[in-house]
Amino acid sequence: MEADHIYDYLERISNLIRMEARRSGTVKGLQPVQLEALHYLASCNRYSNTSLAVAEYLGLTKGTVSQTLAVLEGNGMIVKESDARDRRVVHLQLTETGRGLLAESIPPKMLRSALSSLPVEQRAGVDSALNQILQAMQSANQLKTFGACKTCRHHNILEDSNRRCELTGERLSGEDADKICREHQLPSQT
């Protein structure tokens, strides 16, 4: 059956990626979950850089994420900043050290190399197919999509070419629009 073959491929690719992440992280003194948290924080926008969002994205408990973030903070890879409007909210920011480590580790060199060996049109096809599979699985399991802000039903481009999140009413920078958001909803979602 086709689904069995696709599962086998994805499962083996995932194992190879994790294997390389373990090697990379071990050299830097980090566990794969810590690299995954750093990767998420580098990819998310200002609405989504909290410990709760990290837990939701990675599918981990708050306790596990708390320990993970404590290690990253202790290693100088992230800093915590209180929200300017709501002091109860703590935002997590990558430091230059954290960004530097990610630049060397994510995506793994093995994956970059394999993808670069494919013709451009095949890479685009793989990207599109994986995106569709991901969206279908998230929808079927009623999980948050964590998609790019600019693809969200709440994203609005104004007449003056500025952007605004209709959920929060706040203006968005181009960088915000390109990053993933925990409040993301596909345009077809209600």
Which pLDDT score is estimated for 189?
Answer: 55
> Domain for residue 126, yes or no?
no
> Domain for residue 150, yes or no?
no
Which pLDDT score is estimated for 118?
Answer: 93
Structural domains in the chain (count): 1
> Domain for residue 144, yes or no?
no
Rounded CA-CA distance 147/154 in Å is 12
pTM of the model: 0.82
Q: What is the CATH number of the domain that holds 89?
A: 1.10.10.10
- Ordered mean pLDDT values, 10 residues apiece, the chain (190 residues): 88 88 74 90 93 94 96 96 90 94 80 90 92 82 82 87 88 89 79
Rounded CA-CA distance 146/70 in Å is 23
> Domain for residue 188, yes or no?
no
Which pLDDT score is estimated for 97?
Answer: 93
> Domain for residue 7, yes or no?
yes
Which pLDDT score is estimated for 93?
Answer: 96
Task: Please state at what angle helix 32-43 crosses helix 96-105, rounded to 10 degrees.
Answer: 110
> Domain for residue 48, yes or no?
yes
Domain housing 91: 2-117
Residue 69 CB burial class (10 angstroms; 0-12, 13-18, ≥19): buried
> Domain for residue 130, yes or no?
no
> Domain for residue 129, yes or no?
no
